[in-house]
A and B are shown apart, each in its own frame.
Chain A
Amino acid sequence: MTDLSPTPAVRLHGLTKSYGRGATVLRGIDLEIAQGEFFTLLGPSGSGKTTTLRLIGGFELPDTGQIHLGEADVTTLPPYRRNVNTMFQDYALFPHMTLLDNVAYGMKVRGVARAERMERARAALDMVHLAAVADRKPTQLSGGQRQRVALARALVNKPALILLDEPLGALDLKLRREMQVELKRIQKQTGITFVYVTHDQEEALSMSDRIAVFSEGVIEQVGTPADLYERPASAFVARFIGSSSILHENGRDILLRPEDVRLEAPDYTPAPHERSMAGTIAEVSYLGPVTRVTLCGPDEQDGVTAIVPSRHARGWRERMAVVAVWPEEAAYPLPHRQG
């Protein structure tokens, strides 16, 4: 029987990595990334996502495990023999070269004729709207512009894979939003597989086809943004992605998203398909369109957070007695931890 699914762009098998004196960074990473995917490695700092990216790029060697790019085992190949380009966190533009020469560098190294490489470099700069300043040096650019040059420099070599190491980290919020849209557009347009590292869950949800959530050197869950948000595999994923309340019932953890919870007066009688919890309001935070209300349960252990439209929340004050109400199907029992 022939396997109809195409070879994945990246296949990681059993990767481990530790640095001297037993600081273990990766404890066994298995992952497949499909051709043309926008794939995000998401996790808090120190969770191993950047190390995984550096292993794929060839900047570090794993202690054990294999890395395949397409069909080829590249585990021990140096970066210059991998068909992969990286967009570095600090952009790593060469300060003594013009933007055009920066973008053309990879082609020059590989012996592409001058006329062709200049034409392709210009086209790549044009794609990120910087063709007009092609003859400037990187120091004459703003942070956002440098970041786009770094992207053009990675794209122009038409690699099988582009690695992006928190590329938007240094930008302000507005520019960040613009670049998220821009990156996604360019990824779709070129069809190149993107592997994107970030610790920003909102960014990951809005851009990715699939996401791997890292925690302490292992992958907690791999899935689409909706998988992770609606069906988290663990309490860690539930807490890391979006905000959540976790209730304990009969030894199980029940996840409740705050947007599914509403607040009613203490005398409210729940409908048959509804669940409820009485409590007192511990905190009210006005966030503009919505207001976040945190509730203490009767035993002061379980807390529930509700996010309600601000115009429905005008009456709520701290220390008021209320009832939190949610539809039965909104409560999601988290799977038991294996092992």
Chain B
Amino acid sequence: MKHARNPAADMTIWAAAIAVLGFLLLPLVIVLLYAFDASSVQVWPIRALSLRWFAATWADEEVRSALLVSLEVAGLATLLATVLGTLAALGMNGLSTRSMQAGSFLLTLPIALPGVLTGIAMNSFFSLLDIPFNFITLVIAHTTFCMVIIFNNVMARLRRLPPSLREAAQDMGATPWHGFITITLPLLAGSVMSGMLLAFALSFDEVIVSTFTAGSETTLPLWIFGAIRLGQHMPEVNVVVFAVIAITILPIIAGQKLAASASREH
């Protein structure tokens, strides 16, 4: 369908679109550019470009250990969340609509509530049980919201799977378990994978919940936060932000590609 074109209206819409995109993306671009600034104090315009801060950051023990912690937490939380979230979706899919809505609501709360609330709740819960804050509490806390991502992804796919596929498998002699392994699970694989990538990205740059549950552990976002507050290591912060963007944006793009191809399959 083609509408009659009004050049003035077209121009206005384009201008507005560019303004919004600029508002969203310009700060990111500036931080990315600062990462290549040779100077140790940020002044605009950048006078000389260099990769010296990349080398310096990579050599920084604190940054390296924070990066390692972040990768480990994100990896473990994603794995745990994948098992739990997929099982939750499979279990809830068989329930009545009303119980399913109630269950989804409760399960989705950790992501719907402000992070501060989830963080405080986790903090007092672990304190109450006398569990010391360490790497494990951090992984548990991250698993709660990672699980929601997986659950939502798998649930959406399950709802679009016609029940006749399961019936057809049984019709041809497969037990329910065999049918699940050969039909349902392969059809869910794409949405599980895309959920895993998104969950990993979410965990990798999480700050708020981590603040309340990390104890003495330092993740990369926590290191950035600390560095900015103290006003130190600013050139290194820019490099680290550059790295975080690179590490999180790739899984997000891959995840969306996967989700799109999974939905095309049926």
Instruction: Give the distance in Å from the alpha carbon of A95 to the alpha carbon of B187 in the complex.
Output: 8
- Over the window 170-208 of chain B, the binary record of Cβ atoms lying under 8 Å from chain A Cβ atoms (1 yes, 0 no) is 111111001000110011000000000000000000000
**CB within 8 A of A92: which of B165, B173, B175, B178?**
B165
Contacts of B168 in A (CB 8 A): 86, 88, 92-94
Contacts of B182 in A (CB 8 A): 105, 109
Give the number of residues in A that approach B within 8 Å (Cβ atoms): 24
Q: How far is the CB of B175 from chain A (nearest CB, A)?
A: 6
Instruction: Give the distance in Å from the alpha carbon of A110 to the alpha carbon of B171 in the complex.
Output: 12
Instruction: Give the distance in Å from the alpha carbon of A85 to the alpha carbon of B174 in the complex.
Output: 12
Query: Judging by beta carbons under 8 Å apart, are A153 and B172 in contact?
Result: yes
Contacts of B264 in A (CB 8 A): 139
- Known contacts A96-B187, A96-B265; decide if A105 and B162 are in contact (CB<8 Å): no
Name the residue on B nearest A153 (C-beta).
B172
Is B266 interfacial (CB-CB < 8 Å)? yes
Contacts of A92 in B (CB 8 A): 162, 164-165, 167-168
Query: Judging by beta carbons under 8 Å apart, are A110 and B173 in contact?
Result: yes
Contacts of B172 in A (CB 8 A): 80, 85, 105-106, 109, 153, 157
Is B259 interfacial (CB-CB < 8 Å)? no
Instruction: Give the distance in Å from the alpha carbon of A13 to the alpha carbon of B82 in the complex.
Output: 48
Is A57 interfacial (CB-CB < 8 Å)? yes
- Known contacts A92-B162, A92-B165; decide if A85 and B183 are in contact (CB<8 Å): no
Is A286 interfacial (CB-CB < 8 Å)? no
Is A84 interfacial (CB-CB < 8 Å)? yes
- Known contacts A86-B168, A88-B167, A96-B186; decide if A139 and B265 are in contact (CB<8 Å): yes
Is A59 interfacial (CB-CB < 8 Å)? yes
Name the residue on A nearest B189 (C-beta).
A96
Q: Which of A146-173 contact B (CB under 8 A)?
A: 153, 157
Is A264 interfacial (CB-CB < 8 Å)? no
Query: Judging by beta carbons under 8 Å apart, are B164 and A105 in contact?
Result: no
- Over the window 108-127 of chain A, the binary record of Cβ atoms lying under 8 Å from chain B Cβ atoms (1 yes, 0 no) is 01100000000000000000
Instruction: Give the distance in Å from the alpha carbon of A90 to the alpha carbon of B164 in the complex.
Output: 8
Is B38 interfacial (CB-CB < 8 Å)? no
Is A79 interfacial (CB-CB < 8 Å)? yes
Instruction: Give the distance in Å from the alpha carbon of A110 to the alpha carbon of B172 in the complex.
Output: 9
Instruction: Give the distance in Å from the alpha carbon of A157 to the alpha carbon of B173 in the complex.
Output: 10
Query: Judging by beta carbons under 8 Å apart, are A95 and B170 in contact?
Result: no
Q: How far is the CB of A143 from chain B (nearest CB, A)?
A: 15
Q: Which of A69-116 contact B (CB under 8 A)?
A: 78-80, 84-86, 88-90, 92-96, 105-106, 109-110
Instruction: Give the distance in Å from the alpha carbon of A88 to the alpha carbon of B162 in the complex.
Output: 11
Instruction: Give the distance in Å from the alpha carbon of A79 to the alpha carbon of B179 in the complex.
Output: 12
Instruction: Give the distance in Å from the alpha carbon of A93 to the alpha carbon of B174 in the complex.
Output: 15
Is B169 interfacial (CB-CB < 8 Å)? yes
Contacts of B178 in A (CB 8 A): 109
Name the residue on A nearest B187 (C-beta).
A96
Instruction: Give the distance in Å from the alpha carbon of A157 to the alpha carbon of B169 in the complex.
Output: 13
Query: Judging by beta carbons under 8 Å apart, are A90 and B186 in contact?
Result: no
Name the residue on A nearest B166 (C-beta).
A92
Query: Judging by beta carbons under 8 Å apart, are B265 and A80 in contact?
Result: no
Q: How far is the CB of B194 from chain A (nearest CB, A)?
A: 16
Contacts of A93 in B (CB 8 A): 168
Instruction: Give the distance in Å from the alpha carbon of A85 to the alpha carbon of B173 in the complex.
Output: 9
Q: How far is the CB of A207 from chain B (nearest CB, A)?
A: 22
Query: Judging by beta carbons under 8 Å apart, are B165 and A78 in contact?
Result: no
Contacts of A109 in B (CB 8 A): 169, 172-174, 178, 182
Query: Judging by beta carbons under 8 Å apart, are B183 and A94 in contact?
Result: yes
Q: How far is the CB of A84 from chain B (nearest CB, A)?
A: 7
Contacts of A96 in B (CB 8 A): 186-187, 265
Q: How far is the CB of A59 from chain B (nearest CB, A)?
A: 6
Q: How far is the CB of A51 from chain B (nearest CB, A)?
A: 14
Q: Which residues of B contact A (CB under 8 A)?
A: 162, 164-165, 167-175, 178, 182-183, 186-187, 264-266
Q: List 11 A-B contacts (CB under 8 A).
A: A57-B171, A80-B175, A86-B171, A88-B164, A92-B162, A92-B164, A93-B168, A95-B266, A110-B173, A153-B172, A157-B173
Closest 4 CB pairs of A and B: A106-B172, A92-B164, A92-B168, A79-B170
